[in-house]
Amino acid sequence: MSGAPELSIVVLSWNTLELTRRCLQSVLGRDHGLALEVIVVENASHDGSAAMVEREFPAALLVKNAQNEGYARGNNQGIARARAPLVLLLNSDTEVRDPAVGPGTLATLVEFLRREPEYGGVAPRLVNGDGSVQKSCMRFPGLAVGFLYDSWFERRFGRSRSVRRYFMEDFDHLHDADVDQPPGACLLLRRDLLARIGGFDESLFLFFNDVELCRAIADAGYRIRYLARPEVLHHVGRSTAQFKDVVAEWAVNRVRYYRKRHGLLGVATVKLAFLMRAAEESWKSWRTLPKSDREAALRDIRRFVKRVACA
């Protein structure tokens, strides 16, 4: 694209060909009143996504990786190529929607950061295909969340106050608010701030990297705003669901995040929680599964425990 862009959009793509097409159509297929550059980081998809982007969206800058580099490194690759002062991280399973009246979604987000220098990031409301609101914003997880979330205690007694607070169950997502962590599915950030904090932590391959990024933004003295009016359609988890050993990867990334933010006590807390869950699943397998299925299930549990123990 000629000239200096006002907004750089980084789209990370992995095996979501049709969704990636719709995502790029939503940003390149109409006038948003901004000078845009779109950077697509293609993480070695095997569904023809890279060829589709080259063929149908020649205006986009395409970065082709030889292997899946993960969420954190893939986004960092796109950020490194961005030229605009503002960078929008946009998942390939999203579609930017504009309201019938008033400024468009991208223009609203950009104008907010231009107007509010104390904010490092801003995110829009995410919606499902039926228009229902995704309750996507969260508070930073503490030690109690690390131990209680998805535990026997939670299934037996219901969600604790700390877990409910973590998921912001007290917030309806229909009002603007400062938040700890909006999802990385659509998040507008300042490029100079990203350079200062070093972008995403690449040790967090797939999960908790957006949590850590938002923690780093807060540590740098900036706030993050959630805006309820601009709207983005989000097809949740279409790419992540294809990842092999997704549960183990989530657990490993969770341990690494807790090590970085809560030290040895954090590591001990979440590893204990995972080991208790593994013991629960092992007991359930012994009780409910036939022998052939039981042995396979127990092998999977042992592999999970080994990965978590070594994380």
What string of DSSP letters covers 185-212? Answer: TEEEEEHHHHHHHTSS-TTS-SSSHHHH
d(CA 221, CA 117): 11
In the chain, what are the domain boundaries?
7-137+173-237, 242-310
Residue 18 φ then ψ, to 5°: -65, -40
The reported pLDDT for the residue numbered 245 is 85
The reported pLDDT for the residue numbered 2 is 53
Q: Which residue has the tokens 């009780």?
A: 287
CATH class (in words) of the domain with range 7-137+173-237: alpha beta
The reported pLDDT for the residue numbered 242 is 75
d(CA 116, CA 189): 12
With a CB cutoff of 8 Å and minimum separation 6, the contacts of 114 are none
The reported pLDDT for the residue numbered 138 is 98
- The pLDDT profile of the chain, 311 residues, written as one tens digit per residue, is 457 999 999 999 999 999 999 999 999 999 999 999 999 999 999 999 999 999 999 999 999 999 999 999 999 999 999 999 999 999 999 999 998 777 899 999 999 999 999 999 999 999 999 999 999 999 999 999 999 999 999 989 999 999 999 999 999 999 999 999 998 999 999 999 999 999 999 999 999 999 999 999 999 999 999 999 999 999 986 667 677 789 999 999 999 999 999 999 999 999 999 999 999 999 999 999 998 899 999 999 999 999 999 99
The reported pLDDT for the residue numbered 238 is 67
d(CA 176, CA 74): 30
Q: What is the pTM of this model?
A: 0.95
d(CA 149, CA 155): 9
The reported pLDDT for the residue numbered 1 is 45
The reported pLDDT for the residue numbered 239 is 67
